[in-house]
Amino acid sequence: MKNIWRKLGIIAAISAIIFLTAFAVQKQSEVTCWAMEIKLDVSAAEALITEKQLEKEITSIGTPIIGAHIDDINLSKIQAALNSNPLIKNPTVHKTVDGKLKISAEQRVPFVRIINADGESFLVDKDGVKMPTLSTKNPRLMLFTGRISESLDGTTLSLLEVNKELRASSLLDEIFQVATFLETSDFWSNQVEHVYVNEDKEFELVPRVGSHKILLGESANVEDKLNRLEVFYKETIGKQNWNKYTTLDLRFKDQVVCKEINY
């Protein structure tokens, strides 16, 4: 008899759970969305996109949000729009039981600016993802110009790591390697603001101080090359005329080859 009552109790509990779940689902379908809450993690020094701008972009895709039944909101469409925005990463979108639409994302942090051989300008963030330049806000970044064939496409550093054919035709990884060292060095981040890629796909640095140019060559061993030149600057050029040379060539192992101005 006890077993029968136990079984009946279990059946009743399961029935109650099913009823309450169905009731909750029905009530949820009747909930109206009354707020859109956007949280944008701004880790850059200057915001390239604001929460208000992101809200306007989401609203413009045409799916009903405020005033719509919470179950009728097209989360997939909103997620797709967020995923396609090149200024943000890791976007998420979900709805709450009390009728809120919650959206969160991280802002991409621009790292370098590239102007390619065709004059197209774009940014690359710290994850190696390309971003468009903006008409209103463009932060001061290390600039790469010259014979660069890169364009504003879907090529990223992570893609180059798994695609050897693409890596062979791209300079993005070398640009990133040079820019990373320049940024992490207090001396070179202050001394260089412009890098030129010549006809041989080699890097030339344009310093802020002095009328010379620095022939870096390929990006390989960039740290060793520039550490060598830093010593040369401090021990030699610092005691002479900064405008004495036209070029400082680092392409040869353990050397700084100088070409003087002919007066």
Backbone angles phi, psi at 173, to 5 degrees: -70, -35
Q: Which strand (E) or helix (H) includes residue 13?
A: helix 2-29
Kindly state whether residues 151 and 206 are assigned to the same domain. Answer: yes
User: CB-hemisphere CA count at 13 Å for 86?
Assistant: 17
Kindly state whether residues 183 and 90 are assigned to the same domain. Answer: no
Kindly state whether residues 82 and 157 are assigned to the same domain. Answer: no
* Degrees to nearest 5, angle at CA 137 with 78 and 195: 115
Which pLDDT score is estimated for 21? 46
Residue 74 belongs to a domain: yes
Report CA torsion sign: 191, 208, 246, 177: positive
Query: Which CATH number do you get for residue 174?
Result: 3.40.50.11690
Which pLDDT score is estimated for 44? 59
Kindly state whether residues 103 and 116 are assigned to the same domain. Answer: no
Average pLDDT for runs of 10 along the chain of length 263:
54 49 49 90 73 90 87 91 91 90 91 93 91 75 93 84 81 93 90 92 89 89 91 74 81 84 64
Which pLDDT score is estimated for 23? 39
Kindly state whether residues 47 and 164 are assigned to the same domain. Answer: no
> How many domains in the chain?
2
Residue 89 belongs to a domain: yes
Which pLDDT score is estimated for 103? 94
Residue 24 belongs to a domain: no
Q: Which strand (E) or helix (H) includes residue 125?
A: strand 121-125
Kindly state whether residues 123 and 85 are assigned to the same domain. Answer: no
- DSSP per-residue letters across 71-107: GGS-HHHHHHHHHT-TTEEEEEEEE-TTSEEEEEEEE
Report CA torsion sign: 133, 138, 140, 146: positive
Last-in-domain residue among 107, 140, 171: 107
| Contacts of residue 164, Cβ cutoff 8 Å, sequence gap at least 6 | none
Kindly state whether residues 160 and 39 are assigned to the same domain. Answer: no
Last-in-domain residue among 70, 89, 107: 107
Last-in-domain residue among 75, 107, 139: 107
Strands 130-132 and 203-207: unpaired
Query: Which CATH number do you get for residue 100?
Result: 3.10.20
142 vs 111: CA distance, rounded Å:
7
Kindly state whether residues 126 and 212 are assigned to the same domain. Answer: yes
Residue 67 belongs to a domain: yes
Residue 217 and residue 224 in contact, taking contact as beta carbons nearer than 8 Å: no
Predicted structure pTM score = 0.80
Kindly state whether residues 211 and 129 are assigned to the same domain. Answer: yes
Taking the CA atoms of residue 143, residue 149, residue 153 and residue 158 in that order, the dihedral angle to the nearest 10 degrees is -80
Residue 146 and residue 198 in contact, taking contact as beta carbons nearer than 8 Å: yes
Q: For residue 65, give its domain range.
A: 35-107
User: CB-hemisphere CA count at 13 Å for 6?
Assistant: 3
Which pLDDT score is estimated for 25? 46
